[in-house]
Amino acid sequence: MMNRNNVSYVDAISEATAQEMAYDPSVIVFGLDVDDHKAIQGTTKGLLAKFGPDRVFGTPLSEDAMTGAAIGMAMCGLRPIHVHIRMDFMMLAMNQLVNIAAKTHYMYGGQIRLPMVVRSMIGKSWGQGAQHSQGLYSFFMHVPGLKVVAPTTPFDAKGCLISAIRDNNPVVYVEHRILHFQKGPVPEELYEVGPGKARITAAGSDITLVGISHMQIECLRAKHYLQEKGINAEVIDPIWLSPLDVDTIAASVRKTGHLLVVDNDWATCGASAEIMAAVTERLQGEMRFTVHRMGFANTSCPPTPSLEYLFYPNGRTVAAKAFDILKGSAQNWLPNERPDLKEIEFRGPF
C-alpha cells in the first residue's frame, strides 16, 4: 500500500496519467523514451504495460513533426500528452506550438479545439550545462492561446496534470528535474487544480515572495532563514503562469507592501517581469509598495559547480535580498547554511 501522505512528484504524475487514461480512452502518451526502462525518470512507468503500445509509444527524434502530429490527433478527438525529457528540446517545436496550436481555435472561428498537453522538464546541476537547464516557459506565456503551468508539489503535479488533460486547449506543463524528488500528500482519487489560481504556501505579513517552479522551494527555505531576523515572509506559488492569478499576489502585496519574485529563469522579459508589471498596474496609485526580482544570472548556464552555484538564486541569497529590501539598503547579511534547508545532492550522470 502506498503511503498517501508521502507520494513522490514522479508517482503523482504517473498516477494522474494512468487514472486519466483509464477514465478517458482518448488520452494517449507519446514522446522520446516514454516507453523505455527509465520511463522519463519514472513518470511514465507502467503505462505501456497497462494501456499498450497504441496508446503509449516512443517516437523518433522528431520534435517538430510530433508536435504537429499531436495537433492533428487533437483535431481528430484524441487528447495527446507529448513528453520531452528537457524543456530545451521544445525549441524544435516552436512553429507548431506558436503558429498552429496557439491559434487554431481562434483562427478557425472556434470550429476546432486542441486539447493537448506538452510535458517537459527543466534540468539542473551535475553539469547539465547551457542546453539542458533552461526554463523557457515565458516564451509560451507570451502567446495567447497557450496555457502554462509549473506545479511544484506532488499534490499540484497530479491535480494540474488532470486539469491540463481535461482542458480543451494546448497546455504547456513544466516540470523540474529536482522537483521530481519532492514528496507529499496526494489523494488517490481524481481531482483538479485548475487554471488561474495561485496558492499561498506560507502565510506572512512582511514581504511577499513569489517562487516559480523550483524557486518555490528556495523561497520556502528563505522564509525559514528570514525568521532568524524576525521577518515573517508570505510565500506564494503561482502554479499556473498563464492564466496568472494576479489577484492573489496583489492581495498579498497590498498587505506586505513588498514583492520579490524569484524565477527559475532569466529575469529579462521573463515571468518575473510579467508578475511585477501586473501587480504594479493593479496597485499603483492605491498605495506605496516596492517590486523586486531574482532569477538566473544573465549568462548561459555554466556546468562547472563553482559557477553553477552562482548562477542560481538559493534560499540564502533570496533571504539576503528580502532582508535588504525591508531595510532599504544593502545589509551584507547572508545566513549560514542550515543542514535541514540544504538542497539535495543530485548525482548524475543525468
Partner 1 sequence: MIAKFYESLYRIRRVEEEVAKVYPTDKIKSPVHLSIGQEAVAVGVCEALQPEDIVFITYRSHAAYLAKGGNLKAMIAELYGKVTGSAKGKGGSMHLVDVANGIMGASAVVGTTIANSIGYAYGVKLKRQNNIVVCFFGDGATDEGVFYESMNFAALKKLPIIFICENNGYAIHTAQAKRQSVPDIAAKAAVFGMPIERLGDDVLHLYERISAAVETLRSGGTGPFFFECETYRWKEHVGPSEDYNAGYRAKTEAEPWMQQDQVQKFAMMLDPQQRQQIEQAVEIEIAEAFEFAENSPFPPDAELYDGVFA
**Contacting positions for ligand TPP (CB under 6 A):** 32, 61, 63, 85, 89, 92
Give the shortest CB-129-to-partner 1 separation in angstroms.
5
CA distance 236 to 279: 13
Residues 81-120 that bind partner 1 (CB under 8 A): 88-89, 91-92
15 is catalytic: no
Give the shortest CB-349-to-partner 1 separation in angstroms.
4
Main-chain phi, psi angles of 158, to 5 degrees = -70, -50
Closer by beta carbon to partner 1, 65 or else 273: 65
110 binds, among partner 1, ligand TPP, none (CB under 5 to 8 A by kind): none
Cβ-based neighbours of 180, under 8 Å, separated by 6 or more: 8, 9, 10, 41, 43, 121
The catalytic residue among 15, 20, 63, 175 is 63
Q: How many residues does the structure list for the chain? A: 350
Return the number of other C-beta atoms located less than 10 Å from residue 179's C-beta.
Answer: 24
Is 303 a binder of partner 1 (CB under 8 A)?
A: yes
Contact with partner 1 (CB under 8 A): which of 103, 202, 297, 337? 297
343 to 48, 218, 273: CA distances (angstroms)? 33, 9, 26
Give the shortest CB-48-to-partner 1 separation in angstroms.
12
CA distance 326 to 318: 12
DSSP state of 169: S
Closer by beta carbon to partner 1, 59 or else 331: 59
Is 304 a binder of partner 1 (CB under 8 A)?
A: yes
Is 58 a binder of partner 1 (CB under 8 A)?
A: yes
Cβ-based neighbours of 201, under 8 Å, separated by 6 or more: 216, 220, 235, 236, 237
Contact with partner 1 (CB under 8 A): which of 26, 42, 46, 64? 64
> What are the residues binding partner 1 (CB under 8 A)?
32-33, 36-38, 58-65, 88-89, 91-92, 125-132, 297-300, 302-307, 310-311, 347-350
